[in-house]
Structure 1
Amino acid sequence: MTTTDPPAATASFAAPRDRRNRARAGTSATLTAWAGGVAYVLLLLVLVGGAPRDSGPLVAVGSLPAVALLVGVLRRAPLTALLLTLLGATAVVVVPQRSTRVSMTLFYQGQFLSYLAADLVLGYIVATCRRRVSIVAVSLAFVVQFMAIGLFAHGPVVIVDGVIGLLTMAASCMLGLLSRERREHAVALRAQEVAEAVTAERLRIARELHDMIAHSVGIIAIQAGVGSRVIHTQPDAARDALRAIESTSRQTLSGLRRTLVALRQAEPDTAPAGQAPLAPSPGLADVERLAAVTAEAGVRVEVRVSGEWRPLPPDVDLSAYRIVQEALTNVIRHAGTGHCTVAIGYGNEELSVEVVDDGRGVPGDGTGHGFGIVGMRERVALLHGRFSAGPRLEGGFRVLARLPLPEPAGVSADTR
């Protein structure tokens, strides 16, 4: 009989193996980087030692591509890479022989081109390293370059070489600073986007939990009060209240389970093996059931639907349902009436949801009574709709939301 290792044992063996692979990869990359540094030094020795007489500018130009060998060293030890380029450039300036006075001017003017490699490395350090390291690098490059210019440049080219060297260093440092600022700005923008996304998700979860739980708890509280008052005198009514409490509790637990599973899973559509599929999110198709539950709590709901029904986007459908649910919760808690009307209108460009009651209303716009009105307003704002809530002149309270809808299928721009 064959046996297989349990998943935990397999994972415990795989983790050290992965660590060993990463360690070997890191060691290989480090050896490759320093091999490039050694190759850079050897190549400069060959260029400087084997160059013909009076070929200083040619050697300086030829040494520039060799800086590519220091990419690995630059990533791991930036100051070491800068020191190698400075030493190599200084060797190109000092070692080649000079003979005739005629060639000396060309020699002095072209020999210092080798410091361009050091300026490139300096710009990278300024762009990527800490400010203390950047200051040390700039100081080192300045001292070495201008000492070389002062000692080995003569005649009228001294000032020219000094100005060119200073401008080249300043340009590389400025490019490095600009690159650093752009990178830091991009990081700040990403952090801000992440913070805004987290805040928006927290608000979404808060609205969903509030709308889901507030209505159910309100129904349960009312039914529990009814049951406690009639349990001795009207056992059948108390039994109905308990059934309503049980049904509402199960629906609330199902909604909470769906929300928590969606938060835990990276892919909400995939459920763990052996787990029952989650119930779909509610929508306007569930308004009749919501009205029946509200009626059991003592508020009769009249549902009116106008316009041609058509499938809605999931976010619009869920938001419209939650608005109706929260408005009915406020009627149960605050209106003090036994009747309200829910009007749903399917228009060509927008969906209208209106909940009207004839109760005592709520002072102001209702914002002082929890987060219900605030949550409804946020839902509508996220869908770029219009929302209003407040007492009516003839009495009672009115909640109205207008949510924009996509163009119906089959309607083209030519037929509008």
Structure 2
Amino acid sequence: MTMVMGPQEDHTARARLESSDMPSSLARLRNPDRPHLFSVVFWVVLAGTAIAYTSHPGTPVQIVVFSADLTLVAVLWLLLPWRHATGWRRPVAVVFLLTTLTLGPAGSDEVHMLLTLIAIANVAFVHDMRAATVIIGCLSVVLFVLDVVMYDRGPMDALGQTVPFVVFSSFVLGMTSAVLEARRRRAEAQRLLARVRELTVAQERARMGAEMHDSIGHHLTVVKMSLENAERFRSRRPEAAWEEVRLAKETSVAALADARRWVRALRPLALEGRVSGAALERLAASFDGTGLVVRFEVEGEEVPLEPDVELVLYRVLQEALTNVVRHAGARHVRGRLVFGCERVVLVVADNGGGRRADARDGFGLRSLAERAHAVGGTLTAGDRPEGGFEVRAELPVRVEVTS
């Protein structure tokens, strides 16, 4: 057996270790719950607010107050939760909203209102849509009253100033509602996926139970009958009795080989203690005692794979090698794991007699094809032009999850 490994393995392990020690502040900067578009708009508007203020700065005291307020807004942004929160982080959303509102009296000349809209959206994420709607209503009334009382505008002019705020706020709430609905559907899809995995495991166990009954059960039945015959023949026909004992011994060896094969099939990937190429190499090596000459190679620089992709690769190699032992009548089998930039390919080819004319894909290959499709890949199996049988799985390095 040969193994060709790239120099990426040690670097990958170090990168994973370093990411686990990432400072919490940097983790917040990469908060996956925060909508990316909101983050971009926030920093652009924050910079625009600061630039607009520099065009007509106030007194030194006003400059200090405005700078402190702007800095507080930036710090609170990093602390904001973007899901329904409990504990001390829940009031942060309200404090952030109030802080963006105070930018107006501090002299931002209404440029800060986009920050207030983002703060309202955050309230909807952290609390609920009803709370955000109530806040928009209250702010609309306050803006209208301030325009009439403090800025001495007429009711129609004040209404003209308030309506755009209401329109843009409704648009932001619409976007927020869409994001929340997408999150809900994604969570539901993940629950359904977990249920599908449970059913797949149950179906696989049922299949394996049936095959164990057919193979090991048959062997044990033959052993029992042979020993009973040997017991009957031990006095009258000693030669026949020893022949039955020999048959029972041979059958028990076959049953033991079957049992060992099923133990290999039931061993979880997580217990291998390795990932990707190393786990597949170890699995291939476990078939050395079956009479097969197994050669396994890894080509390209190995990259970290997602757990679902690793598991599909492991099961494909396991099923392919098991089928070679049971059906192919082959002496040699070659496995290749090829890493590309976006896809990883596993090919298992043997030099056996190929598929029989009346044969169909078994349950194992059909199930694996469905699992490969579920992670965005494909699995094909068929005869090779030069003879033998080949199983080929092409899977993405990264599984795309759409919400």
Q: TM-score, normalised by structure 1?
A: 0.49
Q: Which has the higher contact order (CA 8 A, sep 6+)?
A: 2
Task: Indicate the structure (1 or 2) with the bigger Cα radius of gyration.
Answer: 1
